[in-house]
Every structure is written in structure tokens, then in C-alpha cells.
Amino acid sequence: MMNMTETVKQLLIINVLFFIGSYFVPQANELLSLHYFESDGFKFWQPITHMFMHGSLMHIFFNMFALVSFGSALEHFWGPKKFLFFYFSCGLGAALLQSGINYYEFHSLLNQLSDMSISSADLHKMLNANMSDGFSFRGELLYENAKPIIEKYSFNSDSFSILFQAACQNQSTMVGASGAIYGLLVAFAFMFPNAELALMFIPVPIKAKYFVPVIVLLDLFSGVTGYSIFGGGIAHFAHVGGALIGFIMMWYWKKNQFNQNRWDR
């Protein structure tokens, strides 16, 4: 493995500090994680700050391992300015695509409730009613905290289930550097296509030009079908978004590397 470069080291330190700090200041999770952009919890800084937040020790370990492994090689060749520009562009692209998918799914659910003629004020109250027990969202908590409005519109089990799904979309948050990391993976495969990657759960080394497309396609499959081999609670379209922006940027830079748009270190 290449020695850790300076910018990668600083990103690593910031991520670790955010991770530790969120345990001592739990309110940071609410303020710095990326909320759905139409929810009351959304703040303009969250598309950036969510990249430094992580949900578990394993989550941050794998992301930081990939950051050091692939990011150091890229920063070595690009320099810090180009590396940071690429890293944050991929992270923002990941947030944008995932938010777009969330918007489509959220409004598809609300359209199923349109014949109930719910006022916008009442709908807003129900979608933002507290329904978390600190670990997960619970339908009984939503019912308890929005009971007068729910009874006002005579929700049945089916319409309440749709409301609960929409409220989950509205109140869910996204955290992690994974979108930016997927961009780094794509860039690494562009620059070092024949580099062999040995993974803990795959004993045979695989060339980057084969491994990276497969891992992105698996995320796309999981995002479309809802079936994930990686476990639940993963923003698959964020991974795809980071990889897509990384691919577009690498394709553009490769195409224009010898003209006046070339980056200088």
C-alpha cells in the first residue's frame, strides 16, 4: 500500500473526530446527517457534513480503509486540489442522486393518498410526527403522536401503511463517505485498470477494471430490486451516484488531458 498522503490523512482525521464526537454530542447526528430535502430536519450544510458522519464502527472502518488505500494513490498523482475537488464532487453527486430517488418514491406514496383530500398542514404534521424509539421507526408511535389527525381522515390499515412509509422517507437520514469512496474506486480503475485488488471475503485477487464495474452493478441491482447482499439500511443509489459522477469526471479529464483544460498540480 502506498504511504498515506497529506490530504487523505486530514480527511481521515476529520472523519474519526466526527465519529467520536457524535457519541459525545448525540445532537450532531440530527444536525449533520443528510435529511430528505423537503423535511423539517434538512439544513443547507448537510450535503457536505453527511460525508463525515458514519453509523457504525464497521461503516467508518471500511470507508476509511478504502479512502487510505485508493485515495492516497490518486492524490499522489493528482495533487491535493484536484483530489479534493473530485472527492467532494462525487460525494455531492451521491447525495443528489439518492435525494432524487427519495423524491420520486416519496411523492409516489403521497399520490396514493391524494383521494383522501388531506390538507397540506395536516399532512405536514403527520409526516413530521415523532415516531422513532431511538433505534427504528415504529408505526404505533406515529399513530400515537398524530392520532387526532389520523382519526380525522379515517385512515384504514392500507392508507396508514402508505402514510408510515412516506413518513419514514421524510424522516430518514443518510450518512457516510461511501458515495465519495465509490468515485475514488472508479478513478482508481481508470488510472490503474490492471491493479489486482484482494478482498477479505474473496480469496482471489481481481483486477480493478473488473472489480469496480461489478460492485457498482451490484449496488444498482440492489437499489432497483430492494434485495441487498450487503445488508439493510444502505443507500445504494448514493453509491451509484458517486460512481457515476466519478466516471463522468474521469472520462472528461481523460478526453481533455492534453488541452488547455488540463489540471496542474
In the block, which residue shows the cell 446527517?
Answer: 33
List the chain residues with pLDDT less than 70: 1-2, 199-203, 230-232, 257-265
pLDDT for residue 162: 96
Neighbour tally for 31: CB within 10 Å? 15
pLDDT for residue 60: 95
pLDDT for residue 228: 74
For the stretch 245-261, pLDDT in tens is 999 999 998 887 655 44
For the stretch 227-236, pLDDT in tens is 877 666 788 8
- Calpha distance 172→182 (Å, rounded): 22
CB 6 within 8 A of CB 47: no
Cell of 77: 498523482
Please report how many Cα atoms fall inside a 13 Å half-sphere around the Cα of residue 80, on the Cβ side: 8
Helix axes 120-127, 157-171, angle to 10 degrees: 70
pLDDT for residue 61: 94
CB 241 within 8 A of CB 98: yes
Please indicate, yes or no, whether the overall pTM of this predicted structure exceeds 0.75: yes
Neighbour tally for 248: CB within 10 Å? 15
Instruction: Name all domains of the chain by residue range, CATH numbers in brackets.
Output: 6-110+172-255 (1.20.1540.10), 112-171 (no CATH)
Cell of 227: 434485495
DSSP single-letter state for residue 50? G
For the stretch 65-114, pLDDT in tens is 999 999 999 999 999 999 999 999 999 999 999 999 999 999 999 999 99
CB 145 within 8 A of CB 130: yes
In the block, which residue shows the cell 479512502?
Answer: 67
